[in-house]
C-alpha cells in the first residue's frame, strides 16, 4: 500500500457514526467502497461496506435494514457474520466481522499464478456456498457478485461477502395500478450460475466473458494444475451453442465434475413481441400505459431469464420468467407525456444465452383540445390571463377599499379628496386596524397571478400536438405575457391608481412603482421556462439528468417564494 492521501488521513481521524475509525480501503471503485475500520468501544477490526442513499429515495433505509436483517440469518463459515449497520447522513454502512485477507481482485494483481492454480478449488468451494444459500427458504440468490466480493486470507482460504444489490433498488411502483406487486421478485438462480462462471473465467484469463459470445478455448496444457474435465465443463457453461446450459448451481457442479446434463439438441432461443398497448386513467386522473410483452422459446430446452426496466417510469411484472410461453405485463407512467407524441420506454431481457433491449414506442391519444380548429384552439391560451386578471383586480379592489376605510378613520370619516392631506400621510394606521394586512395580502395575490398564468398556459398548450403548438406559438406567447398586456390596458384605471397608494402603509399595492419590477421579472422568468420551444430543447437534457431538472425547478420555486414573501412580509 502506498502513502495515504490527505482525504484518507482525514477520514482516519473521524469516527464513522461515532463508532468506527477508518483503517484501510480494500476496494474503492465507482459505486463500491469496502474498507476496514476499528470499533472505538471494543477495539476490534471490522469490515464496512458503504451504500449511498439518493436524495429522491426516502424508502432506502427501510430496504437497507431489511437486507441487513436477512444477512444476519446466514450462518456459514465462508461468509463473515453480519454484525450491525450504521448511518451517517446519506451514507449507510454494512458492518461485518473481519478475519483478515484482501480482495481477490487485488490479490490477482500480484499473484496471478496462484489464482490460476487454485481456481478449481476456489470455484468449487464458492459453488458449495451458493448451493447452500439457494437451498434456504426463501432462497438467498445474490444476483450480482465479482472478485471484489471475495477475500483471500493469508492461509489461502476464501471469505465470501455477498450483498443482494437487487433488493436495495427502489421498488418503482405506480400508485393505484400495481399495489399488489410491491414485493421484490425473486432473482432466478441462473444469475448466480452466470456470475460464478464469469468469475472462474476471469481467474484463469483476467478477462470477463461477454454473454452470448464464444469465450475462447481453454487448453489443458496451458493449465497443468487444473483437471481437464473441469476446464471442459467451464468452457461448456460459457458456450452459447451448448445444448443444455446449467440453470442451477447443482447442474453447474455436475458439469464441472464431468457429468454433463444434455437433454436437448438445440440451445434455447429467445423471441419476443409487444402484443398490445392500452391507455388507462387511474381514479386520481393519472395516465398510465399498460402493455403485454409475449416471450417464447424457438430453440430447445426451457427458457429461463430475467427482465427489468431501464427507466424509472417503466414497471414490468414479473421480473423473472421461466417456460417456453410467457407473457409479461409492463406499465408506463405517462403523466409527463404530451398529447399525440411518441414516448420511448425500454425493457431489458436476459435469458441463458442472449440479451436484448426492447424499445417500446407509445403514442398518447390526442386530447380533445388538439381536435379543435386552430382559430378556436388559439383562444384557450388566453383564458388564464383573463381569469387571473379579473382575480387580480378583485384582490386589489378589496385591498384598496380596506385602505380607504382605514384612511377615512384618520380623517374623521370625511371622504378622501383628490390629494391626500399631508397630515394623513405622516400618520400611521391605528393599532389593530387590518388595512395594511389586507393590502399586503392583495398585493401578494396580484403578484401570484403573474406566476400562475404561464403555468396554466403551459398545461393547456402541452395538450396540443407538436405541429399545432408551432402554429399557435404566437397565441401561446400572448397567453404567457397576458398579465403584462392587461396591466398595460388597465394602466390608468382607478383600481391601479387609487389615492390611498400614496400612504406608506399601502404602497405595496402600487404596481406602477418599484413593484412593477417584480411583476415583469416573475412573468418573464416563468415565460422563458414554460415556453414550448424552450421545453422541447430542455426535455431530452433534463430526462437524462434528473438531478439537474430537480435543481432548476427548486431554484425557480425559491425565486418565486422569496419574491412573494418580500411583498407579503415587508
pLDDT digits (tens, 9 = 90+) for 9-24: 555 567 888 899 999 9
pLDDT score for 282: 64
Give domain status of residue 224, yes or no. Answer: yes
Give domain status of residue 1, yes or no. Answer: no
Neighbour tally for 364: CB within 10 Å: 18
> How many H-runs (helices) and E-runs (strands) does the chain carry?
16, 17
Neighbour tally for 199: CB within 10 Å: 20
Q: Are 103 and 148 in contact (CB under 8 A)?
A: yes
Per the structure block, which three cell numbers stand in for 136? 434456504
Shared domain for 390 and 512, answered yes or no, is yes
Among 343, 373, 382, 383, residue whose Cα is nearest residue 471 = 373
Give domain status of residue 263, yes or no. Answer: no
Shared domain for 199 and 114, answered yes or no, is yes
Shared domain for 49 and 155, answered yes or no, is no
pTM (2 d.p.) = 0.54
Per the structure block, which three cell numbers stand in for 432? 389593530
Shared domain for 322 and 464, answered yes or no, is no
> Can you tell me the distance from the alpha carbon of 309 to that of 316, in angstroms, rounded to the nearest whole number?
7
Per the structure block, which three cell numbers stand in for 325? 410461453
pLDDT digits (tens, 9 = 90+) for 63-112: 899 999 999 999 888 999 999 999 998 899 999 999 888 999 999 999 99
> Residue 569: helix, strand or coil by DSSP?
coil
17: domain CATH number is: 3.30.200.20
Q: Which residues pair with 289 in a beta bridge?
A: 279, 332
Residue 259: partners with Cβ closer than 8 Å, 6 or more residues away? none
Host domain of residue 29: 6-97
Among 169, 154, 149, residue whose Cα is nearest residue 49 = 149
Shared domain for 136 and 241, answered yes or no, is yes
Q: What is the pLDDT along the chain (570 residues), one digit of tens a residue?
A: 444 445 455 555 678 888 999 999 999 887 889 999 999 888 899 999 999 888 778 888 998 999 999 999 998 889 999 999 999 988 999 999 998 889 999 999 999 999 999 999 999 889 989 999 998 888 899 988 999 999 998 888 899 999 988 788 776 545 445 444 444 557 788 889 989 999 999 999 988 887 777 777 888 888 988 988 899 889 888 888 777 788 889 888 888 877 644 444 567 778 888 887 887 776 666 667 788 888 888 877 677 777 776 666 677 777 777 778 888 888 777 555 555 555 666 677 777 667 777 777 766 666 677 777 888 888 888 888 888 888 888 888 888 888 888 888 777 766 666 556 666 766 777 666 777 888 888 888 877 777 788 888 888 887 787 778 888 888 888 888 888 888 788 777 877 778 777 787 787 787 776 777 777 877 788 788 788 888 777 776 766 666 776 777 788 788 778 877 777 776
> Can you tell me the distance from the alpha carbon of 445 to that of 391, in angstroms, rounded to the nearest whole number?
8
pLDDT score for 513: 67
Shared domain for 560 and 448, answered yes or no, is yes
Q: Are 495 and 393 in contact (CB under 8 A)?
A: yes
Name the strands in the sheet holding 355-363, side by side, starting at the edge strand that comes first in the sequence.
320-322, 304-309, 342-350, 355-363
Per the structure block, which three cell numbers stand in for 370? 388538439
Give domain status of residue 313, yes or no. Answer: yes
Q: Per-residue DSSP letters for 374-432?
A: HHHHTTGGGHHHHHHHHHHHHHHHHHHHHHHHHHHHHTTTPPP-SS--HHHHHSPPPTT
Sign, CA dihedral 192-348-288-455, equals: positive
pLDDT score for 104: 94
Shared domain for 251 and 299, answered yes or no, is no
Amino acid at each position: 500500500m502506498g502513502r495515504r492521501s490527505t482525504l484518507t488521513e482525514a477520514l482516519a481521524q473521524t469516527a464513522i457514526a461515532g463508532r468506527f475509525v477508518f483503517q484501510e480501503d480494500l476496494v474503492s471503485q465507482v459505486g463500491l467502497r469496502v474498507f476496514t475500520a476499528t470499533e472505538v468501544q471494543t477495539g476490534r477490526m471490522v469490515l464496512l461496506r458503504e451504500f449511498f442513499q439518493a436524495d429522491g429515495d426516502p424508502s432506502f433505509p427501510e430496504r437497507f435494514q431489511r437486507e441487513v436483517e436477512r444477512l444476519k440469518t446466514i450462518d456459514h463459515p465462508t461468509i463473515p457474520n453480519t454484525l450491525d449497520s450504521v448511518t451517517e447522513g446519506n451514507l449507510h454502512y454494512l458492518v461485518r466481522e473481519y478475519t483478515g485477507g484482501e480482495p481477490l481482485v487485488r490479490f490477482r494483481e500480484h499473484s496471478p499464478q496462484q489464482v490460476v492454480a487454485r481456481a478449481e478449488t476456489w470455484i468449487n468451494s464458492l459453488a458449495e456456498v451458493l448451493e447452500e444459500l439457494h437451498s434456504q427458504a426463501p432462497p438467498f440468490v445474490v444476483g450480482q457478485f465479482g472478485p471484489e466480493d471475495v477475500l483471500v486470507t493469508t492461509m489461502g482460504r476464501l471469505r465470501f461477502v455477498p450483498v443482494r444489490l437487487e433488493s436495495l433498488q427502489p421498488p418503482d411502483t405506480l400508485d393505484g395500478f400495481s399495489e399488489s406487486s410491491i414485493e421484490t421478485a425473486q432473482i432466478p438462480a441462473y444469475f448466480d450460475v452466470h456470475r460464478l462462471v464469469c468469475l472462474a473465467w476471469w481467474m484463469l484469463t483476467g478477462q470477463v466473458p461477454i454473454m452470448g459470445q464464444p469465450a475462447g478455448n481453454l487448453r489443458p496444457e496451458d493449465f497443468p494444475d487444473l483437471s481437464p474435465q473441469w476446464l471442459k465443463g467451464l468452457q461448456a457453461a460459457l458456450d452459447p451453442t451448448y445444448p443444455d446450459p446449467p440453470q442451477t448451481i447443482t447442474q453447474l457442479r455436475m458439469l464441472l465434475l464431468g457429468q454433463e446434463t444434455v437433454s436437448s439438441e438445440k440451445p434455447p432461443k429467445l423471441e419476443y413481441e409487444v402484443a398490445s398497448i392500452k391507455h388507462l386513467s387511474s381514479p386520481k386522473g393519472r395516465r398510465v400505459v399498460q402493455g403485454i410483452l409475449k416471450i417464447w422459446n424457438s430453440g430447445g430446452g426451457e427458457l429461463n431469464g430475467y427482465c427489468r426496466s431501464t427507466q424509472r417510469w417503466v414497471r414490468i411484472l414479473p421480473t423473472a420468467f421461466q417456460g417456453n410461453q410467457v407473457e409479461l405485463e409492463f406499465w408506463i407512467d405517462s403523466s409527463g407525456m404530451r398529447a399525440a407524441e411518441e414516448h420511448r420506454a425500454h425493457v431489458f431481457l436476459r435469458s441463458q444465452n442472449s440479451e436484448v433491449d426492447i424499445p417500446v414506442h407509445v403514442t398518447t391519444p390526442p386530447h380533445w383540445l388538439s381536435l379543435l380548429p386552430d382559430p378556436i384552439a388559439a383562444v384557450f391560451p388566453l383564458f388564464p390571463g383573463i381569469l387571473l386578471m379579473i382575480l387580480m383586480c378583485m384582490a386589489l379592489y378589496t385591498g384598496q377599499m380596506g385602505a380607504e376605510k382605514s384612511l377615512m378613520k384618520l380623517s374623521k370619516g370625511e371622504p378622501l379628496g383628490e390629494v391626500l392631506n399631508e397630515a394623513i400621510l405622516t400618520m400611521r394606521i391605528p393599532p389593530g386596524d387590518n388595512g395594511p394586512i389586507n393590502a399586503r395580502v392583495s398585493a401578494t395575490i396580484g403578484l401570484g397571478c403573474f406566476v400562475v398564468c404561464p403555468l396554466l398556459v403551459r398545461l393547456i398548450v402541452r395538450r396540443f400536438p407538436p405541429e399545432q403548438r408551432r402554429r399557435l406559438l404566437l397565441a401561446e406567447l400572448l397567453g404567457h405575457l397576458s398579465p403584462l398586456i392587461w396591466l398595460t390596458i388597465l394602466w390608468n384605471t382607478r383600481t391601479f391608481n387609487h389615492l390611498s397608494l400614496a400612504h406608506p402603509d399601502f404602497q405595496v399595492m402600487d404596481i406602477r412603482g418599484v413593484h412593477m419590477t417584480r411583476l415583469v421579472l416573475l412573468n418573464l422568468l416563468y415565460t422563458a421556462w414554460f415556453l414550448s420551444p424552450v421545453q422541447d430543447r430542455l426535455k431530452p437534457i433534463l430526462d437524462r439528468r434528473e438531478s439537474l431538472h430537480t435543481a432548476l425547478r427548486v431554484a425557480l420555486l425559491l425565486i418565486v417564494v422569496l419574491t412573494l414573501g418580500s411583498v407579503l412580509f415587508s
